[in-house]
Chains A and B, each alone.
Chain A
Amino acid sequence: MSWFNRSSRWIERNLKWVFTAPALLFILLMMAFPILYTGWISLTEWSMSAVEPATFIGLQNYVNLLAHDHRFWLSVWRTFEFTGLALLGETVLGLLLAVMLNRDFPGKNLLKTLFLLPMVATPVAIGMVWLLMYEPTIGFMNHLLKVLHIPPQPWLASEAGALPSLVLVDIWQWTPMMALILLAGLVSMSSDPFEAAEVDGATLWQVFWHVTLPMLRPTIGIAVILRSIDALKTFDIIYAMTQGGPNYATETLNLYGYNLGFGYFQMGAASSLLMIFFAIVLGIVIFLNWARRGVLS
C-alpha cells in the first residue's frame, strides 16, 4: 500500500477525531489557560501588582462575595431581572409578530429584511443612538411622551427607570430575531391541525392557544435558551449607556466583575465573581435544556 493509501485509510478510520481535533485544540488553547488562570487567581488576593505576588487565601473571595457582599447579590438579582424581563418581552412580542408575518402580503420579504437590522447593528453604536433618544431634555422619547400628554421621564438617569430602559433597548434589538425564528417554526408546521380546527369552528384565539402554541413549543425552547445565554452576558450596551449606574441600578454581574477588576484592582474578587457567573450561566443552560427535553418527551 502506498503512503497515501495508508494515511487516508487511517484518517477515515479516525475521521471523527481528525476532523474535530483542530477545532477542539483551538478551543482548549484559547479557553483553558484563561479559565485555569482565572480559577487560580480567584483563590488569591492580588491587586495586579508586579511587586507583591498574589497571596493564596483559599476560598475567602467566594465567602466574601456570597456571604458578605450585598452588592454582589444585588447584581445577581439585576442580571436575572434584566434577562427575565427582556426574554418575556421578546417572546411575547416575537410570537405576536411571527403570527402576524405568517401570511402573505405584498412587501413581506422587504419587511422581514428590515426587521433584521436591529440585531445586526453594532451594539456600541446602537447604545449611542438610544443614549441620545433617552436624553431627558433633548431626547426624542420625552418629546414623544409630551405629545401623548404623559409627564416626561428621566429614563436612564433614575435608579428606578434605568434598568427597564435598558431592557427596552434589548427588546428592541432582539424581538425581531425571536420573531423570525418563530416564524420559521410556524412555516415548517403541517397545516392539517389548523384545517381540523377550522372545521371545528375554533376561534382565532382557540387555534393559537390549543394548536399553534403547543406545536411551536420546541422552537420557543431553543430560541429562549439561545437568547438567555446572550442576555445574561449583556455587556456592550450597558457599558456604553450607563456603565452600571446610576447608583449601581444597572450593575449586572458582568459589570460588577468589570468594576471589581478594572475599577478597584481587586483581581481575586473579580475572578471569583467570574467563576460564579460562569457557573450560573452554565447551570441555567443545562437547566433550560433539561426543561426543554422534558417538555418534548
Chain B
Amino acid sequence: MTRLHRSSATALTAVLLAGLALTGCAGRTEPTKAPAPATETAKKPFEGVTLRFLGAQHPWFDTLKKEIPAFEAETGMKVNTEVLAEGNLTQKLTVELTAGTGTIDVFMQRPLQEAKQFEKNGWYADLNPFLKDAKKTKSDYDFNDFFQGTREVETLNGHVVGVPIVTEQQIVYYRKDLFAAKNVKVPTTMAELEAAAKALNDPKSDFYGIVMRGQGNPAVTQYSSFLYSMGGDFVKDGKFVIDSPEALKAFQIYGDLLGKYGPPGVLNMHWQQASGLFAQGKAAMWVDANSLYLNVADPAKSTVSDKVGYAMFPAGDKGALPYSVTSWGLSIAKSSKQQDAAWAFVQWATSKAITTKTQAAGNPSARTSVWANADANKGWPAEWVTVAKKSGEAGKSTDRPLVINVGKARDLIGEVITAAINGKDLAATAKDRNVKLNALLADENK
C-alpha cells in the first residue's frame, strides 16, 4: 500500500518540480563571456554596466559593430546589440517602450518617420542636459559640427531627441554604358527623364527603362522630390494639398514612369527589389536615395557595378528640389536606467573619429568636418560626391509630411501613388485622400 502512495506522491512532486525547474533556469540564458580579467590598471568608468542597443539592419551599423569591442575594452561596459529589419524594429521599439520597463537603453530611429510620435509618447530622453554638461560630453565632440538642418529635425519641443547618423539625398542612378551606346542624354529635366526611360525600355527582352519604389507607403518619400520639383508640397498653410495641380502633375509623372516604362510587379517593390533589378542589369535607371549606392556599386552584389553613373535629380517646373534628409538618428530611451552609460555610447558612436570610419565605409554622415575630411571620402566615386554635395545644397529637409501619425499619412498618399501607377482615377483618388489626410491632421491638432 505505502509503495503505491509514495509513487503517486512522487508523480505529483515530479510535476511540481518540473514547474519549478521551468521558472528557475534563468541563469542558463547568459551566454556572454565572463567579464575580461582586469589586467589594465586604469579605472574603467563603466565597469560592469551592460547596455542594450536596438538597431536597424543598416550598413552604418555593420561598420560600427566592428568598432564596439574597442569601446567595450576602453569603458568596461558590455554592449549587447540587437539588429532587426526596419518594420520589426518599429514594432519591437513600440512594444518595449510602451511597457516602459527600461529594457532598452540606446536605439536607432527614423527622425522624420517616428520622432513626433515617440516624443509625444514621452519615449525619448532629452540629450540637452548631457550636451551641456562638460563632465559628460568631451570637449571635442562638437554638436554644432552636425548640419543645422539635421539638428533641427532631431529637436522637438526644445528637446534634443537624437543625434543624426545617416543623411541621404535622392539621385538618379543610370547605366553609363547603355546611355552612351544608344546615345541618350543623361536627364536633367523631368521631360528628359521620361524620354530616356522610354528610349531604353525594352520589355520584350526583359529590360526596363526605369525602376523605383512602387509599394505605396515606401514610395511616398521617393515621390516627394517629384512633388517639390513640380512646385507642390504635402502641406501648405496647415492643410494637406496633395490634390493641387502641381501635386497631380507629380503623381502623373511618377505613375507614368513606372506604369509605362517600369518592370512588371512594381506595385510590390520596396527599394530592395528595385535596386536588385538595377544591380542585375535589368533596368536602365533607378531613382532612390544615394545612401544605398553600395547595393549597385559593390561588385559582390551587382553585375553592373562598373557601369553605374550618378546624376542629380532632374528639374521640374520649379527646378531640381530633391529631398536631403536625416534618415537615421541615435537616441536614448527615457525609461533607461543607465543613461550616463548610454550617452557615453551615443557620444562615442557619433564622434568625429567613428563617423570618419562609418563614412569611409560608405555611409553619408551629417558632420561638416567629416565631409571636409579627404580621408573619409576617398573611397567614393568622384561623381557621387559631386552629386551628393549639389543635392545637399538644393535639397529640402523632409521627404514626407511632418505629422504625428506618419505611418497613416504615408499609407493614404501611397494609395494615390498606386492609383497613378495603375493609371486610373488619379484626380478623384487624390481628392478623396486629401480629405482624409486633413481629417487626420485636424484630429492631431485637437
Contact = CB atoms under 8 A, between A and B. Distances in A.
Nearest to B100: A50
Contacts of B353: none
Contact of A243 (B87, B94, B123): B87
Contacts of B408: 263-264
Interface string A33-56: 000000000000001111110000
Contacts of A243: 87
B144 interface: no
Given A50-B100, A50-B121, A265-B94, A137 B265 contact: yes
A182 to B, nearest CB: 35
A8 B8 contact: yes
A136 B206 CA distance: 10
Interface in A42-98: 47-52
A135 B277 CA distance: 11
A164 interface: no
B265 A245 contact: no
Nearest to B440: A264
Given A137-B264, A246-B418, A157 B269 contact: yes
Given A49-B120, A264-B405, A264-B407, A246 B268 contact: yes
B117 A47 contact: yes
B265 A11 contact: no
B334 A50 contact: yes
Interface residues of A, number: 38
A245 B270 CA distance: 11
B263 interface: yes
Given A8-B8, A50-B334, A136 B267 contact: no
B2 A49 contact: no
Contacts of B6: 4
A158 B405 contact: no
A142 to B, nearest CB: 8
Contacts of A245: 215-217, 267-268
B337 to A, nearest CB: 15
A79 B446 CA distance: 34
B266 A11 contact: no
B335 A50 contact: yes
A297 interface: no
A150 B6 CA distance: 73
Interface string A1-41: 01011011001000000000010000000000000000000
B182 interface: no
Contacts of B9: 4, 7-8
Interface string B186-230: 000000000000000000001000000011110000000000000
B5 interface: yes
Interface residues of B, number: 46
Contacts of A51: 120-122
A154 B216 contact: no
Given A47-B121, A50-B335, A263 B407 contact: yes
Nearest to B264: A136
Interface majority SS (helix, strand, loop, mixed), chain B: helix
Contact of A262 (B90, B122, B414): B90
Interface string A233-269: 0000000001101110000000000010111111100
Nearest to A267: B98
Contacts of B268: 154, 156-157, 162, 242, 245-246
> Which of the listed residues A51, A52, A137 has the most CB atoms from chain B within 10 Å of its own CB?
A137
Given A4-B2, A8-B5, A159 B94 contact: no
A155 interface: yes
B263 A136 contact: yes
Contacts of A135: 265
A152 interface: yes
B15 A246 contact: no
A42 B282 CA distance: 48
A243 B267 CA distance: 13
A158 B407 contact: no
B415 interface: yes
Given A47-B117, A50-B334, A264-B405, A157 B264 contact: yes
Given A8-B5, A22-B15, A49-B122, 11 more contacts: A4-B5, A49-B120, A136-B265, A138-B280, A157-B266, A159-B267, A245-B216, A246-B215, A246-B216, A263-B90, A263-B408
27 contacts: A2-B5, A4-B5, A11-B8, A47-B120, A47-B121, A48-B94, A48-B98, A49-B120, A49-B121, A49-B122, A50-B123, A51-B121, A52-B121, A136-B263, A137-B206, A137-B263, A137-B277, A157-B264, A157-B265, A157-B269, A159-B267, A245-B268, A246-B216, A246-B418, A247-B267, A247-B418, A266-B405
Listed from nearest, the 9 A-B pairs whose CB atoms lie closest are A157-B265, A136-B265, A51-B122, A157-B268, A49-B121, A4-B5, A246-B267, A50-B122, A136-B264
